[in-house]
Homo-oligomer: A and B are copies of this chain.
């Protein structure tokens, strides 16, 4: 009969339905009220689980970053030898493909990004949770590579910049082209 007063799993529902809305209607159409109603609760209910929209978006970012990291880590596992160029290549492909398949994720993740990166490799800083995950993963992978540049900072940044820039461009709306982004990446990384 009447739906129960308590939702049961509102927190997870907000995150997942929120991501769904971003993918279907765009981030500009995601409001706390509408999201609450979409989950079957009132427009103020989300504030029982997130004290601000920013916190909710942060949780959604964490959810998305986790998916990306899983894909990248899985890609590494498929490498026969842990030869660094193969690892870098497969990771990079996964990174680019992820944003090509989900174009809205790029600006959702990085437009409001408040990344704190200590490129000096010191004990790491207080990133916002999704990006703590992001950075830690990057360092962990890079450390496992056979090939290490004389200065690891430059290695990480140059690797990341190439892949990230390609993802940024590929994520732009209405980019018309006739090649696959993975091919471009292969050419760039030589």
Contact = CB atoms under 8 A, between A and B. Distances in A.
A1 interface: no
A114 B115 CA distance: 24
Contact of A154 (B115, B116, B187): B187
Given A158-B187, A168-B168, A184-B157, A111 B107 contact: yes
Copies in the complex: 2
Interface stretch (A2-10, A77-85, A139-147, A170-178): A170-178
A45 interface: no
Nearest to A163: B165
Interface string A31-59: 00000000000000000000000000000
B166 A117 contact: no
Interface in A151-185: 153-154, 157-158, 160-169, 172-179, 184
Interface in A112-158: 112-120, 125, 153-154, 157-158
Nearest to A107: B111
Given A164-B165, A168-B110, A172-B113, A119 B187 contact: no
Interface residues of A, number: 38
Contact of A179 (B153, B175, B187): B153
Contacts of A168: 110, 161, 164-165, 168
Chain B CB within 10 Å — which of A112, A116, A168 has the most?
A: A168
